[in-house]
Amino acid sequence: MSLLSYLFKKKQPSLNKEDGTTKTSGELISEVTDGANLVDGKQTWELAEENKDDLEIIKRCCDAELKTMNKAGLVPAPYYFERVAILSRKSKDYAQEIFYCEQYIEKVESFYSKNGTKGIADVRKGPRFKAIVKRLPKAKELYAKQST
């Protein structure tokens, strides 16, 4: 099942803009989710590269990805959660790193438990998800050392 077919089960947006041009997939997702996938009026992917070191914007991208999951049934992209984890470790905020890693793992596992993997990509097989899982024990170890 294609992404658009899946989304259109939830809502039936027009494929064309008022000027007759075709809407992008991001515009369709935004319409179906009532803008849940937007941060400051932009798609999360539009903010990824130029704001990759801005912790607050990347955290808001995480929130938008989770809202999109809840509204459209799309698994959240791991990039933003991994970036928060990386930036949190750099600033020695291990509690935040643990929170975002655990939150992402739990939400993704819950998503696939509920929806299965038939016809959709399984991000758990990808390198970013695996990196998030791998960094969690070290973050917990660093947090424990910091707390003593």
Query: 3-state SS of 92-110?
Result: CCHHHHHHHHHHHHHHHHH
What type of residue is 132?
I
CB-based contact 37:67 (threshold 8 Å) = yes
With contact defined as beta carbons under 8 Å apart, do 100 and 88 qualify?
Answer: yes
Which pLDDT value is given to residue 1? Answer: 46
Helix 127-147 × helix 94-115 angle, to 10°: 140
Give pLDDT, residue 28. 81
pLDDT of residue 11: 63
Query: Could you list the pLDDT tens digit for every one of the 148 residues in the chain?
Result: 455 555 555 566 777 788 888 888 778 888 888 888 899 999 999 999 999 999 999 999 999 999 999 988 889 999 999 999 999 999 999 999 999 999 999 999 999 999 898 888 899 999 999 999 999 999 999 999 999 8
